[in-house]
Structure 1
Amino acid sequence: MLVAGSMIGSGIFIVSADITRQTGSAGWLLFVWFITGFMTLTAALSYGELSAMFPKAGGQYIYLKEAYNPLISFLYGWSFFTVIQTATIAAVGVAFAKFTAYLFPSFSEDLVIVDIGFVQISPAQLLSIAVIVLLTYINTRGVSHAKWVQTIITLAKILSLTLLIVFGLASLKPAIWQANWLGGATWNLQHLNVDGSVETYTHMAAFGAIAAAMVGSIFSSDSWHSVAFIAGEVKNPQRNVGLSLALGTILVTLLYLLTNLMYTGVLTLPEMAAAEKDRVAVTASHVIFGHAGTAIIALMIMVSTFGCNNGLIMAGARVYYSMAKEGVFFKKVGTLNQQAVPAVALWLQAIIASLWCLSGRYGDLLDMISFVVVLFYMLTIIGIFILRKKRPTIPRPYKAFGYPVLPIIYIVMGISFCVLLMIYKPQYTWPGLMITLAGIPVYYVIAKKQITT
């Protein structure tokens, strides 16, 4: 439930609009989601080996430390704290507010209630912060409270998404399906503008367009590794963490592919590309259920994003807790409250995520997050090769499926994705890289302080 619940958030209901604009065809739309699913499952199956080797709280942070050195693991923890997890929590919070505003327009992101020149604050931003604070409080009350919230909400949104797929496929319109899938443009990679016009890509720009399209799908498929962060609180982690990763990613990948197949059966590509505020699921639900359907889907997505953020908030604080216990983060973050959860880490995470809520819009956050996320996924998977040479005798209850072929394929695809984003979307990828590298001097300042004390 934590793996699936952390993955299914806001993306599947929004990002297909931008992917459609970037690819301009039904075939490439599904291909982008398929490639992302393949990468996600490959990474999850690889992480299973690491989680079985090091079954304790901290997840990816611990894996990087064991494979490389404390600096690399700190840079991941630093990036996780400053960008990856906190900005993801913010993006999902902003999406919650975006769909709340559909039902209650007074929460619109287009309204401004505070204008102090360099930043404008909307009701949507304040609502997203309020949700983050509420879920943080729930998580400080103990894992059992958060677990039941996660389980109930995840079951509700999986059921809701499944019903949307079923009713959508039952409402499939033959004329639209034929236009999207049986016409000559099914595999024409082109840019589809909001007004319905198209632009062709040069050869290299086509690769850049695929990378740009994958930003949304990678974000939507991220956070699958959240269960590894709380491995120390999972029963029989050597078996259950790897199993959770595999089952959760397979389930969500299938749901995502079917959802996008459903979109192409009820909406034309121009309708998907021009969906108001990219709320393509709302546009599809209007076709499937009529006017009442838009309210149903908006409510469903509110539940989905609420549950997603609960999983993200629960898992994220465990990384900062692990860092603090090792003396490379604020000492107070490494303490537990009476409910045996890292409350200080949770509240510090909430503060940074709230600042991200005020900093920018949904799409801007996605670009920055996806680049940094894939960068560290690659380093972690390379770590499997390093550890097989460096620590060959350590028990491996589970070994990476398809090793070494599948991990190598992931690394090649990840490098291609990151390089193309740096070339074709530099305005957000370079800042993400700079924030990561800014952790280097921070690490040495902390290391020096540790030596002197």
Structure 2
Amino acid sequence: MDDGSLKKEKKESQNGSTGHRVGSQAKDQKPVKATVLHKEVGLVSGICLIVGTMIGSGIFISPTSVLLHSGAVGPCLLIWTACGVLAMMGAFCYAELGTMITKSGGTYAYLMESFGPIPAYLFSWTTVMVLKPSSLAIISMSFAKYASTPFYPDCPPPVLVTKCLAAAAALLIVTVNCLSVKLASYVQIFFTGAKLFIIAVIVGAGVVMLAQGKTQNLSNAFEGASQSFGAIGLAFYNGLWAFDGWAQLNYITEELKDPHRNLPLAIVIGIPLVSVCYVLVNVAYFTVMTPNELLLSPAVAVTFGDRVLYPLSWIVPLFVVFSTFGAANGSCFTAGRLAYVSGREGHMVKILSYISLRRYTPAPAIMFNGLLAIFYIMPADINTLINYFSFTQWGFYGLTSLGLIIMRFTKKDLHRPVKVPIVIPGLMVLVSCYLVLAPIIDKPEVEYLYCASLLLAGLLLYIPFVHLKVRWGRKLMGPITMHLQLLMELVPPEKSE
């Protein structure tokens, strides 16, 4: 049989299969969906993703670092407010980037567009392998601690119980996110509503305390304020860590309905809401606790509830559990999208870019993030790991803001539905440089060198497998990818039109 006959036969076969599919579709009246991530996240879900990821357990458990370094109530409240303004400035930069470059992946996509593959790869390497899964692990551990405490009233929960419960929570969250985007969005909406409810309860109780004249801790609010420039910088650093999450919606731009409208609108609504909540909750704490008492309390919201809400004080730890679960769900949701986009661009193994044929979710990427999180739950202490790596996060924020400035001159033809004054990304670059250098200069430790070494170690994989495209890696992953496809019903994503 000659080549012409082969081509003719192949074409007829394709036409036949296409006709069968069309006829079947007409019969069942069910349109065939493209194998891509679908736009199922609306404005409310977007706001809940921002708010629910930003508000984790920190504001309820231990908002002491800002007070410790600022030295007094007045500077503490001002720093919380200023951190909200800085988070808003960063989010405005990301709003311009997200409406100009409508790809999922957030910082990864913007670094790829402005600086090329190497900075983008280093960001994905650090975030996918360390920051995102360790963050999910820490939040899951907080959830497990507060969920298990009622069962051990006379002693702390056993470490084994806490770790097993944290792993179970991570598995449940991964399952929810693999099953359905809508289900994960509904979970996020519910738990965001729960945490806003308990914040409203705490703020309302604080207003009642203020009306009763409980203002002694707020008088002379600047007495004893820290005069150290380095200490104030560390207070800002800890406050901004509590606000981290303002860029989460940019990770799922491809799944956001009408991103040109909903992305900036969700940012404008979500971040000021979190800022107001943080300031008002801190004011409420100071109505019943002195600064020293707040610094010594292991869980500030629980102490507040015991003093003000008794006999209903049990609702505070319950809603802390809800809050941590919602934050973990949001973290898992966005982490999966970053791994998915990295795999699609060839910076991670290709299987991470595959989509569930039935569920239309990036199931392999979500599972990979969950498995790493469970691995990070196993060590005795992972807080140190993410604390030392947090300086890299602000380094990438600064680099992304610099990229925004550069693209104003190098890519003037790109459509910009949102355009912020150039002074805002300029300030973000300066703030990021300070936040990266401040902890290292103030307290240089060898752990920062380890983190930088691990960051650069990603190049050892990038050069052979991404840049040079060494073939034996493909030969190793080929059979694994094929078997995972068959087992999990996975397909590569179709190219969007």
State the alpha-carbon separation in 1 of the partners of residues 273 and 82 from structure 2.
15
Contact 2:376 2:382 in 1 (8 A): no
State the alpha-carbon separation in 2 of the partners of residues 14 and 266 from structure 1.
16
1:177 to 2:215 alignment: yes
Q: 1:434 to 1:162 in 2, by over 3 A?
A: farther
State the alpha-carbon separation in 1 of the partners of residues 341 and 96 from structure 2.
20
The equivalent of 1:284 in structure 2 is 304
The one-letter amino acid of 1:342's match is P
State the alpha-carbon separation in 1 of the partners of residues 349 and 339 from structure 2.
9
The equivalent of 1:254 in structure 2 is 276
SS at match of 2:218: helix
The equivalent of 2:379 in structure 1 is 359
The equivalent of 1:450 in structure 2 is 469
Between stretches 314-323 and 101-110, larger displacement belongs to 101-110
1:245-280: per-residue Cα shift (whole Å, max 9, x none)?
A: 22211111111111111111221011100002xx11
State the alpha-carbon separation in 2 of the partners of residues 22 and 237 from structure 1.
39
The one-letter amino acid of 1:389's match is F
Structure of greater Rg: 2
State the alpha-carbon separation in 2 of the partners of residues 383 and 103 from structure 1.
49
> Quick one: which of 208, 227, 243 aligns to 1:221?
243
**TM-score, scaled to structure 1:** 0.87
Contact 2:68 2:295 in 1 (8 A): yes
> Quick one: which of 136, 145, 163 aligns to 1:89?
136
The equivalent of 1:134 in structure 2 is 172
1:310-367: per-residue Cα shift (whole Å, max 9, x none)?
A: 1110111111111111111011111001211111111110111122223354753552
Q: 1:383 to 1:133 in 2, by over 3 A?
A: same
Instruction: Note the 1:331-342 alignment, pairs <5 A.
Output: 331-337=350-356, 338-342=358-362
State the alpha-carbon separation in 1 of the partners of residues 164 and 354 from structure 2.
29
Q: 1:354 to 1:218 in 2, by over 3 A?
A: farther
Contact 1:4 1:252 in 2 (8 A): yes
Whose relative contact order is higher, 1 or 2, with alpha carbons under 8 Å and at least 6 apart? Answer: 1
Q: 1:317 to 1:49 in 2, by over 3 A?
A: same
1:330 to 2:349 alignment: yes
Which 5+ residue runs of structure 2 have no aligned equivalent? 1-47, 475-497
The one-letter amino acid of 1:435's match is L
SS at match of 1:77: helix
Between stretches 301-310 and 28-37, larger displacement belongs to 28-37
1:423 to 2:470 alignment: no
Instruction: Note the 1:100-119 alignment, pairs <5 A.
Output: 100-105=147-152, 111-112=158-159
1:22 to 2:59 alignment: no
Contact 2:405 2:425 in 1 (8 A): no
The equivalent of 1:188 in structure 2 is 224
The equivalent of 1:56 in structure 2 is 103
The equivalent of 2:191 in structure 1 is 153
How far residue 132 of structure 1 moved from its aligned partner, in angstroms, is 0.9
How far residue 63 of structure 1 moved from its aligned partner, in angstroms, is 0.6
How far residue 175 of structure 1 moved from its aligned partner, in angstroms, is 7.4
State the alpha-carbon separation in 2 of the partners of residues 75 and 89 from structure 1.
20
1:317 to 2:330 alignment: no
How far residue 173 of structure 1 moved from its aligned partner, in angstroms, is 8.4
Instruction: Note the 1:379-418 alignment, pairs <5 A.
Output: 379-400=399-420, 403-418=421-436
SS at match of 1:132: helix
Contact 1:7 1:221 in 2 (8 A): yes
Between stretches 89-98 and 336-345, larger displacement belongs to 89-98
**TM-score, scaled to structure 2:** 0.80
State the alpha-carbon separation in 1 of the partners of residues 463 and 210 from structure 2.
59
* Residue-pair matches, total: 423
Q: 1:370 to 1:107 in 2, by over 3 A?
A: farther
Between stretches 222-231 and 266-275, larger displacement belongs to 222-231
The one-letter amino acid of 2:130's match is V
The one-letter amino acid of 2:164's match is L
The one-letter amino acid of 1:315's match is T
State the alpha-carbon separation in 2 of the partners of residues 318 and 212 from structure 1.
31
SS at match of 2:346: coil
State the alpha-carbon separation in 2 of the partners of residues 127 and 216 from structure 1.
28
How far residue 411 of structure 1 moved from its aligned partner, in angstroms, is 1.9
The one-letter amino acid of 2:200's match is T
The equivalent of 2:487 in structure 1 is none
State the alpha-carbon separation in 2 of the partners of residues 187 and 177 from structure 1.
15
How far residue 102 of structure 1 moved from its aligned partner, in angstroms, is 3.2
The equivalent of 2:398 in structure 1 is 378
The one-letter amino acid of 1:182's match is S
State the alpha-carbon separation in 1 of the partners of residues 51 and 229 from structure 2.
30
The one-letter amino acid of 2:101's match is F
The equivalent of 1:36 in structure 2 is 83
The one-letter amino acid of 1:138's match is V
SS at match of 1:328: coil
Seq. identity, %: 28
Contact 2:353 2:365 in 1 (8 A): yes
State the alpha-carbon separation in 1 of the partners of residues 154 and 195 from structure 2.
23
Contact 2:139 2:328 in 1 (8 A): yes
The equivalent of 1:199 in structure 2 is none
State the alpha-carbon separation in 2 of the partners of residues 409 and 283 from structure 1.
38
Instruction: Note the 1:163-174 alignment, pairs <5 A.
Output: 163-172=201-210
Which 5+ residue runs of structure 1 have no aligned equivalent? 113-121, 191-202
> Quick one: which of 459, 467, 479 aligns to 1:440?
459
